[in-house]
Amino acid sequence: MHLASIRGKLPIECATEDMLTSNVLGLVSYWTGASEFWRTLLRRCGSSAADWSWSPSPAFEFWPRMSDGGEPDLVLRWPRRVLIVEVKRHAPLAVDPTTGRSQVARYFESIRRSDDEVDELAALLLTGESYFSSDRSSELLHIQAELGPHGASAAWTSWFEVRRVLSSMAQEHRVARDLAGYLVWEGFSWEGIAQLSDVVSLHALPSWTPASSDAQLRVGLLHGVAPLDLAMWENE
């Protein structure tokens, strides 16, 4: 499908987050370099799942139906470990107006109810922005506040970072080269602030709270420090 998109064989309205998920992450799931791709991406965004063993390889479940009717974009399942990947292009994270629970928290709760043998769970928010916006920082803080008490972690990355990881593997893997080219065609070509997402992980920085200012959060993410440590960077 990514080739049909590049060659103009699909209408523009097909360029949705589900199409991105299918074209890129769907093809990656069949690729022999999948573990290298995912470990690199997770490490660069600071996800705790980067340290999980990839032997055996996880099962890739696209849009699995949860017990509450929800459908996460992608679930990677290992024995006793689960990574939930929620994909957005520019749409906000869905939050239940009655309970205030995010869709990621609801997926987490469904998995806990259906599988009591899961010991570790992590979430990855994958979006279309080229930088970690204040809206995305608020969403990630919301997710971490929901998952943190249960020992789960959350991290953010972007389709720009996915393209960078694929580009770094393109010389040795044709699949990576083709998918990186597809993401450039989709508009994810600008480098932005290099590797801003390398340190976007709230699991390792529990002192961050929703009260932290956006400016503090952005600088903290860039340098990998908590807001209370920002004074050391003021003169840079």
Q: What is the pLDDT of residue 149?
A: 83
Q: What is the pLDDT of residue 191?
A: 60
Q: Across the chain, what does the average pLDDT equal?
A: 77
Q: What is the pLDDT of residue 24?
A: 94
Query: Residues 31-56: what's their mean pLDDT?
Result: 91
SS (H, E, C) the chain: CHHHHHCCCCCHHHCCHHHHHHHHHHHHCCCCCHHHHHHHHHHHCCCHHHHCCCCCCCEEEECCCCCCCCCCCEEEEECCEEEEEEECCCCCCCECCCCCCEHHHHHHHHHHHHCCCCCEEEEEEEECCCCCCHHHHHHHHHHHHHHHHHCCEEEEEEHHHHHHHHHHCCCCCHHHHHHHHHHHHCCCCCCCCCCHHHHCECCCCCCCCCCCCHHHHHHHHHHCCCHHHHHHHCCC
What pLDDT, in 10s, does the model give residues 45-96? 999 999 998 888 899 999 999 887 789 999 999 988 999 999 999 999 999 9
Rounded to whole angstroms, the Cα distance separating 156 from 188 reads 16
Rounded to whole angstroms, the Cα distance separating 67 from 93 reads 20
Q: Looking at the structure, give the CATH architecture of the domain made up of residues 2-202.
A: 3-Layer(aba) Sandwich (3.40)
Q: Which residues belong to CATH 3.40.91 in the chain? A: 2-202
Query: Residues 201-207: what's their mean pLDDT?
Result: 37
Instruction: Please state, for a pLDDT cut of 90, what percent of the chain lies above it.
Output: 47
CA separation, residue 152 to residues 74, 98, 149 (Å): 17, 23, 7
Residue 184 CB burial class (10 angstroms; 0-12, 13-18, ≥19): middle
What pLDDT, in 10s, does the model give residues 162-183? 999 999 999 999 999 999 998 9
Least confident range from 73-82, 132-141, 189-198: namely 189-198
Q: Which amino acid is at 2?
A: H
Q: What is the pLDDT of residue 67?
A: 81
11: confidence class by pLDDT, cuts 50, 70, 90: low
137: confidence class by pLDDT, cuts 50, 70, 90: very high
Q: What is the pLDDT of residue 139?
A: 94
Rounded to whole angstroms, the Cα distance separating 134 from 235 reads 23
33: confidence class by pLDDT, cuts 50, 70, 90: confident
Rounded to whole angstroms, the Cα distance separating 136 from 45 reads 14
Query: 113 versus 203: which is more confidently predicted?
Result: 113
